[in-house]
Structure 1
């Protein structure tokens, strides 16, 4: 069986080489143009990059012809490893059309339309580092999700490259997926293991790795890496070059009186400011809860029983919380509930603030679920105006625009993230607050209202349903998605079921309760979707929460009782030991999805209801 390891490494290197070569071959190459640069086209250029006038004209003509607002300019003379990074980061088949894809490219120079640049708030045009262009490319793709692309520009000359800068670019680009940083080391580790079984196959795998750049970049590929001939030597000396270049970069930074990595320095400062905010409120955490209720907030029954107790497993903020279930109607709720200040405390840095980047990345990965949500309406109505309640940065509206291009989308959220959604153009109208607060003002304006991840976090879900009825036009549709507290995963995984998300989720409404509440308000349910609404990864998520509880990631808001040095030391060996269980959990999650999608076993359900009248 161990003989399979070096065989799989060889096959993996060949398959990956074919994948990367295909991506590079699909890169467009701009053609020379005598037309002057469009006055609306501006160029953001990294330090050390040479962008002659002829290359600017060609890029501008290409952007004008392809109707692009953003064009990442790829130098043909990138180093081999930078060229491979472009292929790894960008699926050139789907990049432009994929509204949720992160902005990526060569990070050397970017053409941007003037209006978009002003909307994004970018004021200067040159002197950028490649690391800064990572953030800019990410932002610009969000502001022009279907008008962003990349192309090879003849005549464009890349900046001098070194291993240290390349690692910093990778760290920034993969900040939300750190495992991607270590994937290139997988063949080395597997080859070392396989060499104990077959040295001949290990030699073949090593040679394939060293000479992979020739297969990927040579021949009919629009790039001509300047170090292709010596790429095997560069790969052999990779670690040594990284150390040398890092030391040199550190010396140059100290001589100039600036941080060696400005991004890390800025993040460290934000981290310190965030930690100071939490320390100032550490003594008052106990005041963030209301009095324990003896009645069910849904039906008023006093037949309550404790379902589970749990700390804040996901974020690690202080406190222990209890979920009670009503014996009459089955409604599960946080008891005692947290106060409005408590909601602000426990939701702070969850979707915004220090964790905004990670939260946006996680939300963008729900694009498949967003597509299913948008398509659920198709057999029943063509929306004229759609209000997404609890929209955050507007990710659902961004995806739904592909399915409903003629629909006007509005976004409502209690945070100011909805203003950013409006600036990006993901929503056409932005409202801040709770639905019940703006329902009268929006009455009859929207013929579709959606609530994804909203009703379970509302303090008074019944009032929010009343607000939806007021805001919805006659004959309009209300689409709601909620976690299913009756699913097998919720029962078997206990407090480690990711769907609980204590204490940010306050109410867990059984599907029958929601249907009855909608009918009482004159809304006729026309679709109840369980199986298709299943969210993947319950077992994998539960294992992740267990790891987070035993050895939490160091965060500025972490409960001091869970932030000891022992747990910090335990985290790395625990993560290494959990690789095999996590892989096994992912396999089980994948194999069990078909079973969970049958009947009422899914961890999530959706209801589409029509307002009569």
Structure 2
């Protein structure tokens, strides 16, 4: 329960940030986008079709985002994609700053930690690593749980946000690498036995370059473990723009498993395992309902809005939030109840690939 003092502190932070955000938005959002692509960035086909058009359903920052699907190879990508300036704007205050507390509460939730531990255990038959690099580690919760499964392994984390430095301060990883993986990779050549990328590739402007970087930093016969959303999930079609893994504007590329397998082989890997069932996170119906309700509610306060939310809007939002709680709880219960079935019939919202460096 948020205290009155905590609410006042948040309001002060928002008020301090509002002039900066309003300056960024004074000329609109056009400069945050590159020119629209006319060909698929994966296979160069010009057979493109719009799959999703949506707004920012996470932070509700201004802008409209489109995901196109290539009808030749099935690759999904944001089109037009965000520029570096756009990425900075839309990531700001999502995982750190104003969003740090929420991000840590989600990533460090007991259900998330349990899942991390299960993923690490699934890798035990394949590896006894000395050094492990978790790319896109965030606040380091996966290495923390994997360390319980592999107690003799040195875990390091790489990310561009401040979370990776918090992770090393709080003892979840032993070394923090902050920056771009593709830029840091040459200085880390042949250092690691395992590299993990969990819900990371879809955030990157060039996923193939990330695979090359992983090949560079791995030792001979080292393992690369990847988990990414599956754009071919049946839930994607059923829920449309309300499907969580579209996650606009942050997800730039979403690869069908066959495309990623081929890219790994071209980069010098052999895929040794594919997993869909265990990769599924049973939240699709619950989050879709939350997105819809958030769209219907009066907006909350945020520095990218030109004015603070009115008292009536704040009261209305709180009343609607409490009234919706039983429906959201029911939707989550349904997600859990249906999970064993949807994992088997094409509804899994993600997949995992385990590849060995040749």
Q: If the length of structure 2 is used for normalisation, what is the TM-score?
A: 0.94
Query: How far apart are residue 562 of structure 1 and its match?
Result: 11
Provide the alpha-carbon RMSD of the alignment.
Answer: 2.0
User: What is the match of residue 31 of structure 2?
Assistant: 287
Gap runs ≥5 in structure 1 = 1-169, 173-260
Alignment of 1:539-578 (within 5 A): 539-551=285-297, 553-559=299-305, 568=314, 570-578=316-324
Q: Secondary structure at the match of 1:531?
A: coil
Q: Secondary structure at the match of 1:578?
A: helix
Alignment of 1:509-524 (within 5 A): 509-524=255-270
Alignment of 1:304-343 (within 5 A): 304-343=48-87
Cα distance between partner residues in 2 of 1:552 and 1:440: 49
8 Å Cα contact 1:539/1:589 also seen in 2:
yes
Q: Secondary structure at the match of 1:406?
A: coil
Q: Secondary structure at the match of 1:555?
A: coil
Does residue 456 of structure 1 match 2:199? no
Alignment of 1:30-45 (within 5 A): none
8 Å Cα contact 1:310/1:320 also seen in 2:
yes
Cα distance between partner residues in 1 of 2:68 and 2:306: 27
Does residue 269 of structure 1 match 2:269? no
Cα distance between partner residues in 1 of 2:346 and 2:218: 29
* 1:409–1:280 distance in 2 versus 1, CA, 3 Å: same
Query: How far apart are residue 277 of structure 1 and its match?
Result: 2.2
Query: How far apart are residue 503 of structure 1 and its match?
Result: 0.4
1:404 to 150, 155, 159: 150
Cα distance between partner residues in 1 of 2:288 and 2:324: 12
Query: How far apart are residue 385 of structure 1 and its match?
Result: 0.4
CA offsets 1:215-255 (integer angstroms, 9 cap, x no match): xxxxxxxxxxxxxxxxxxxxxxxxxxxxxxxxxxxxxxxxx
Alignment of 1:24-35 (within 5 A): none
Does residue 598 of structure 1 match 2:341? no
User: What is the match of residue 98 of structure 2?
Assistant: 354
Does residue 437 of structure 1 match 2:180? no
Q: Secondary structure at the match of 1:499?
A: helix
1:474 to 217, 220, 228: 220
8 Å Cα contact 2:227/2:353 also seen in 1:
yes
CA offsets 1:409-437 (integer angstroms, 9 cap, x no match): 11110123222222222111211112111
Query: How far apart are residue 568 of structure 1 and its match?
Result: 4.7
8 Å Cα contact 1:439/1:468 also seen in 2:
yes
Question: Which protein shows a greater Rg?
Answer: 1
User: What is the match of residue 177 of structure 1?
Assistant: none
8 Å Cα contact 2:22/2:304 also seen in 1:
no
8 Å Cα contact 2:286/2:335 also seen in 1:
yes
8 Å Cα contact 2:282/2:336 also seen in 1:
yes
Cα distance between partner residues in 2 of 1:523 and 1:552: 50
- Higher-RCO chain (CA-CA 8 Å, sequence separation at least 6): 2
8 Å Cα contact 2:276/2:352 also seen in 1:
yes
User: What is the match of residue 500 of structure 1?
Assistant: 246
Cα distance between partner residues in 1 of 2:177 and 2:207: 19
Q: If the length of structure 1 is used for normalisation, what is the TM-score?
A: 0.56
* 1:528–1:564 distance in 2 versus 1, CA, 3 Å: farther
Query: How far apart are residue 392 of structure 1 and its match?
Result: 1.4
* 1:263–1:557 distance in 2 versus 1, CA, 3 Å: closer
CA offsets 1:516-543 (integer angstroms, 9 cap, x no match): 1111112111110101111011100000
